Structure 1
Amino acid sequence: MAAVAVWALLRSRNMEIWIGSYLRRPRVTAMPGPVHVMFCFVDHFEPMWHGADEATQRQRVDRWCRDYRALAARHRDADGRPPQHSFFYPEEEYVPEYLDKLSALCTEGYGEIEVHLHHDNDTEANFREGMSRFCRVLHERHGALPRDPATGELRFGFIHGNWCLDNSRPDGRWCGLDNELILLRELGCYADFTLPSAPSDTQTRTINSIYYATDDPDAPKSHDTGVPVRVGGQASGDLMLIQGPLGLNWKDRRMGLMPRIENADVRGGQPPTPQRVDAWVRAGVHVQGRPEWVFVKIHTHGTQEGDMDTLLGPPVDAMHDYLESAYNDGQRYVLHYVSAREAYNIVKAAEAGMQGNPGDYRDFHLPPPRASWAGGRQAQAAA
């Protein structure tokens, strides 16, 4: 009866999908030299959330552009750079005014703009047309998204709305494309940043990983497993996925008994406490063969009023204070604030066998978008 009860509890939170991977995870061992922590904050940035009117949408964007400047300006990593916020903006919520304001924030060196999408029962033709158009607009109108120096094509990072990458929801809602990984690759996506999605049933068996997934165009959720990115390896499959930490929080238990899911989500009800920061680092997400370069990708839905006091106020301010004190002593840990694009570039540098300071490889493969050129240089000069 106890086993049945435990299984029922696991299924109620869709934990049966990934708990085996979590329990089989290798133990994290101490590193002989400093561990470099790449801290990447990605945001499902949705000004129209919950059907807000235009005035509310504008207030949300304006508050971010005002308060995030003040918060980020108080902090620096080992390279002298402020926190980098990656705004994954929804294609279906495009408003030029909002992107102009975010672009100005990014130009000052505080982050970059990437691509987010909510869709349902979509078609390949519609997906191609909509995504191509949106990427062109982001680049040409708002200075976002880099061009590949080898091919000249626009490149973008991606987060899928409702977590349903590659039609991964069992009932087929909120996507509709079993070949979405292939389409993203062909459209210029350099990496996906959707996961973890737990407790959603879209969560993959693969956790705490950076890996390549190969699409089966006739089946959903092809990214359930894949090939880990490794030092000395090369790109394979259709799409790289950079996951955030996922595990169990034994220090915060439901009804005092069952540990809660630690899914790297930051919001009002899930503030970024020092204990959570420690758990994110301990998850040890890394390129195989380079365990001393740890990637901490956390996420949020930044425009929801109930969360903004956390994201733009004392809790996240304290999170950065803790990161800069506990994980930036230069001996045991070195902290690097990175955008989604920079995280990808550092992954590719590790894959290519680069060593030393990963902060030197922020632009290893893909250059910065136009909207961040001036700001990056200004931030470095100020430091």
Structure 2
Amino acid sequence: MNVLAATLVSLLLLAGLAAWALRRLLRSRNMQIWIGSYLRRRPRPVVAGPTHVMFCFVDHFEPMWKQADLPTQRARVDRWCRDYRALASRHRDADGRPPQHGFFYPEEEYLEEHLAKIEALCADGYGEIEIHLHHDNDTEDNFRTVMQRFCTLLHEKHGALSRHPQTGELMFGFIHGNWSLDNSRADGRWCGLDNELILLRELGCYADFTLPSAPSDTQTRTINAIYYATDDPHAPKSHDTGEPVRVGGTPSGDLMIVQGPLGLNWRERRLGLVPRIENADVRTGCPPTPDRVDAWVRTGIHVEGRPEWVFVKVHTHGTQEADIDTLLGAATDAMHTHLETAYNDGTNYVLHYVTAREVYNIVKAAEAGRSGNPDDYRDFVLPPPRASWAGRRARGAAA
């Protein structure tokens, strides 16, 4: 074999080895599911005038995490109710509102005293309560019973959840435990319902806020989008794809899916080479740095045809001790300061702190062709829960 042939063989072997290593790397983080969508992404259209940034923080709020005893649960909830008030009260968006926290509370962890404290925090204007659920090998009948009972309990005892103004139906936002919406885990664990999107719609779910779930294999091919998913009741993970919500469009499918940012973080590389996955998760190991905030905004998630309204939905598991200092301390304080400094100048950007329900309302306003200031549409379809109304009345009387 001459030198040229030997060199060519070596290069081919190296290329094959590199391709094998890349494939192995992608599959080790389940990136093969979504990396194609990420590489094919299109930039957000250029807009005239300011970009309105809707910032929504949703929390898989689990006081009983790791089967904690009651004193530990109480300490977790009490710290949130004390320290979040102090943190949020130092910040305001363009509309004069403090940061809004979405307490997606697990049905299977219900304890009245915990919800009563969170209810009071929300009534003071710091967020809203929605529904989180962990279940496994479930049945349709049991799922209906559990969800209907929990919706009624949250509304009647804790003033949570809105009633649809036309139908009177209780409406809720949803985050699936273990990321397994619509039975989406490859091994079939932590759900059991291939028709879960249909069931959620029928039970009053206005939108799902589970995603992104990378690096889990429950992550969808569709990324960085707000879309309608149509359920195949005989197959899992029907929300893998869907129809984007668009200005002037008609609602379709079974459930609106509201995703947070997902991409690659090249500024924080493993071993200096491999980019980390940016999945909008906030915790001590991935604090909400200004660079991450900038990346979330640049992702530009929006309703098609309304690129000047950008939605940034980030998530956390707020009761885990390793992360509470980050979530209620200097790192999150600095995150809000950066948001209010870099994205609230009134000329290039306008900042709006929003709840999950308000995200849905503003999305529906965009779909209906509304424009201008999104603050006008926080209650476009669904009114505030009863607890929020009580808090608004109290604050209005005090003013």
TM over 0.5: yes
382 and 334 in structure 1: CA distance in 2 versus 1, 3 angstrom threshold: farther
**1:241 pairs with 225, 240, 257, which one?**
257
Within the alignment, does 1:273 sit opposite 2:289 as a pair? yes
Q: How do 1:1-383 and structure 2 match up within 5 A?
A: 1-376=17-392
Q: Mark the CA change 1:382 to 1:319 in structure 2 (over 3 Å): closer, same or farther.
A: farther
Paired with 2:44 and 2:162, the residues of 1 have a C-alpha distance of: 35
CA distance in structure 2 between the partners assigned to 1:133 and 1:362 by the alignment: 27
Query: 1:154/1:8 Cα in 2 relative to 1: closer, same or farther (>3 Å)?
Result: same
Distance 2:285 2:176 in 1: 23
- In structure 2, the CA distance between the partners of 1:65 and 1:320, relative to structure 1 (3 Å rule), is same
- For 1:145 and 1:240, how far apart are their aligned partners in 2? 17
Equivalent-residue separation in structure 2 for 1:162 and 1:37 (angstroms): 28
> What is the alpha-carbon root mean square deviation over aligned residues?
1.1
Cα displacement string for residues 29-79 of structure 1 (whole angstroms, at most 9, x for unaligned residues) = 442210000000000000000110110001000000000000000000000
CA contact (8 A) 2:61 2:105 kept: yes
* Paired residues, number: 383
Stretches of structure 1 that go unaligned for 5 or more consecutive residues are: none
Q: TM-score, normalised by structure 2?
A: 0.95
Going from structure 1 to structure 2, the CA distance change for 1:288 and 1:378 (only over 3 Å counts) comes to farther
AA at the equivalent of 1:138:
L
Amino acid at match of 1:101: K
Identity %: 79
Provide closer, same or farther for how the CA distance between residues 20 and 371 of structure 1 changes in structure 2, counting only shifts above 3 A: same
Question: Offset at 1:380?
Answer: 7.3
Q: Name the CA shift for 1:293/1:382 in 2 (closer, same or farther; >3 Å).
A: farther
SS class of match (2:173): strand
Map Cα deviations across residues 148-193 of structure 1 (whole Å, 9 max, x no partner): 0000000000000000000000110000000000000000000000
Q: Which runs of 4+ in 1 moved over 6 A?
A: 380-383
TM-aligned CA deviation for residue 23 of structure 1? 0.2
Gaps of 5+ in 2: 1-16
The Cα shift of 1:235 comes to 1.1
Larger radius of gyration: 2
Q: What do residues 110-140 of structure 1 show as CA deviations (whole Å, max 9, x unaligned)?
A: 0000000000000000000000000000000
Contact 1:284 1:291 (C-alpha < 8 Å) held by counterparts: yes
Change in CA separation of 1:291 and 1:377 when aligned onto 2, cut-off 3 Å: farther
Amino acid at match of 1:41: F
- Is the Cα contact below 8 Å between 1:109 and 1:374 reproduced in 2? no
Could you tell me how far apart the structure 1 residues matched to 2:280 and 2:392 are?
Answer: 27
Contact 1:82 1:379 in 2 (8 A): no
Aligned partners of 1:374, 1:154: CA distance in 2, in Å?
A: 18
TM-score (norm. length: structure 1):
0.99
Q: Give the AA of the match of 2:196.
A: E
Q: CA–CA distance in 1 between the matches of 2:183 and 2:395?
A: 40
Answer whether contact 2:81 2:121 (CA < 8 A) is retained.
yes
Contact 1:247–1:262 (8 Å) recurs in 2: yes
Question: Hey, what's the Cα distance between the residues in 2 that align with 1:263 and 1:162?
Answer: 15
